[in-house]
Amino acid sequence: MKKLYIIAWSLFFAGLVLKFLHIVGANILLLVSCTILLVHNIIFLCKHVKTDYAKVLIYFSYTFITIYVMGRILFWAVAKPIFPITFVLVIISLIVHLIKNESLKLPQIVLAVYFIFFLVFSYVPSYKVCYALKLNTVLNKEERKTDYRAWDNYSWFLNLRNKKSEALDANKKAQEAAELCGAQLYLVILEHHKSLIISNKQIEAAEWDTE
């Protein structure tokens, strides 16, 4: 069980590194790691629900926070419904710990810190997450010149926050990048996105290419 847990977290952190470096397979690693965490939790639940339910809650709290983080960095809609479930789960876990009058141990301390990160991260706008992952100048100094999809995603998320001028500027950079890559068909899409930004028309995020 412990080895399975270690493997899951190793895959998750490896996936994060690959995601920042834009290496193929990052999304798969993140998804597999969260799946393994869930499998581990279910097995642990079946074995220890009567004897160590507090630890069961802690494991599930870790996992749901991690799934939320994955959803945010992959821009999946699952992050939104996962948030309230995670919040309630962590609160219950902390309350159970207080009721048992146990001293703080490493799992509870780590959970408290992870929960604070979860709350802070939930207030970070998607356009900032998109920029940090795909367009930051440290890891993307050259790639950002040709990554028209990333600029397109960034433009859309800015538009969702009613930052029209910044969204139009990002759309322009997306068009410049598409021209450099010779992506003539995508230029048509970008022109359509530009017209939506100008008209301030809001469409569902799921309709936007966020990959």
Q: What's the alpha-carbon Rg for the chain, to the nearest Å?
A: 20
179 with 197, same domain: the answer is yes
Claim: this prediction has a pTM higher than 0.95: no
Whole domain around residue 135: which residue ranges? 127-207
What are the tens digits of pLDDT across the range 133-167? 999 988 888 888 999 999 999 999 999 888 999 99
7 with 69, same domain: the answer is yes
- Phi and psi torsions of 104, nearest 5°: -65, 130
- The number of distinct structural domains making up the chain is 2
Supply the pLDDT for residue 206: 37
Cα–Cα distances (Å) from 120 to 127, 197, 209, in that order, read 15, 28, 26
Report residue 131 as tokens. Answer: 């920029």
Which of 70, 94, 124 represents a domain boundary (last residue)?
A: 124
Q: Please state, in angstroms and rounded to a whole number, the distance separating the CA atoms of residues 124 and 83.
A: 14
> Is 78's pLDDT higher than 90?
no
